[in-house]
Amino acid sequence: MSAQGQQVVILKEGTQRSTGRDARGSNIMAARIVSEAVKTSLGPKGMDKMLVDSFGDVTITNDGATMLKEMDVQHPAAKMMVEVSKTQDDEVGDGTTSVVILTGELLGKATELMEKKVHPTVIIDGYRQAEEKALAILKEISEKVDPKDKATLMNVSKTTMASKLVNQHSEYLSDISVDAVLQIAEPEGDGYTVDLDMIKIEKKPGASMTETRLVRGLIIDKEVVHDGMPKQIKDAKIGLLNAAMEIEKTEFDAKISIETPEEMQAYLDQEENM
């Protein structure tokens, strides 16, 4: 505060400051630009995007989370859209494009209401009521699926893969995916819980998608330390060690005083015999 009681704001040179309606308009516009960028990748006729980073690496995808992760977004509101997509990917694993588009459309409708002099607080309250209604409808129309009903689970998996590059192998990969999830599903209350961290994916370039296989166990991606070692062992006994297999050097402070050539030779002889 200054001596006259006026507020003094010190900003970095080149910083732009906006408040009120201008700030809301800028934030909504930035968020909607992100939404429009991914909109054309949605649906059965959605197009893949080719992304080239600063190193020249090329990524071809129609996954919303991947696209937004590769985009160099600077605007704070646009970064929030990226976080929305990331959260959707972490929590659900799909619908990353849809959630960004839906958010953009909600902001667009909110803009129309604000132009009609509807206060933002009223709009937020209305959206919260709509959320509660939507969740109630989803709960009403949802169907409980028995884990033994593999056909339904595979249909869910194939639907998810339909818009991905792997869609031509969706039947084969869905079978593997469902089996992998069922292996780690644990009963919890009226349903099941799945810790996806229990599923690890090892990728090896050069082979076909149909050579993908499920290993009910553990894969350690390491090469043999010597060519003479066996490549395959049946009924092997495996030891798990939580320690390094190496001999640590003993740390000690010692001084050796050598005064004659004979003592030096004796020291070297002892070193060879150790």
Asked if residue 244 has pLDDT above 60, the reply is yes
What pLDDT does 135 receive? 95
Asked if residue 190 has pLDDT above 90, the reply is no
| Confidence category of residue 90, pLDDT binned at 50, 70, 90 | confident
Q: What is the mean pLDDT of residues 84-108?
A: 88
Asked if residue 111 has pLDDT above 50, the reply is yes
What pLDDT does 222 receive? 83
Mean pLDDT of the chain: 84
Encode pLDDT of 37-82 as tens digits: 888 888 778 888 888 877 888 888 877 778 888 787 888 888 888 8
How is the chain split into domains, by residue range?
A: 20-141, 150-211
pTM to 2 decimals? Answer: 0.64
Q: What is the mean pLDDT of residues 212-236?
A: 86
Encode pLDDT of 206-223 as tens digits: 888 888 999 988 888 888
Asked if residue 203 has pLDDT above 90, the reply is no
CA distance 184 to 148: 14
What pLDDT does 20 receive? 66
Q: Minimum mean pLDDT among 54-68, 177-191, 245-259: which range?
A: 245-259
Residue with the bigger pLDDT between 223 and 9: it is: 223
Encode pLDDT of 120-148 as tens digits: 999 999 999 999 999 999 999 998 888 88
Q: Which CATH architecture describes the domain 20-141?
A: Orthogonal Bundle (1.10)
Residue with the bigger pLDDT between 240 and 130: it is: 130
Q: Read out DSSP for the chain?
A: --TTS-------TT-----HHHHHHHHHHHHHHHHHHHHTT-STTPPPEEEE-TT--EEEE--HHHHHHHS---SHHHHHHHHHHHHHHHHTSS-HHHHHHHHHHHHHHHHHHHHTT--HHHHHHHHHHHHHHHHHHHHHH-----TT-HHHHHHHHHHHHTTSTTGGGHHHHHHHHHHHHHHH-EEETTEEE--GGG------TTS-GGG----SS-------SSTTS-S--TT------SS--SPPPPP--------SHHHHHHHHHHHHH-
What pLDDT does 134 receive? 95
What pLDDT does 109 receive? 93
Asked if residue 1 has pLDDT above 60, the reply is no
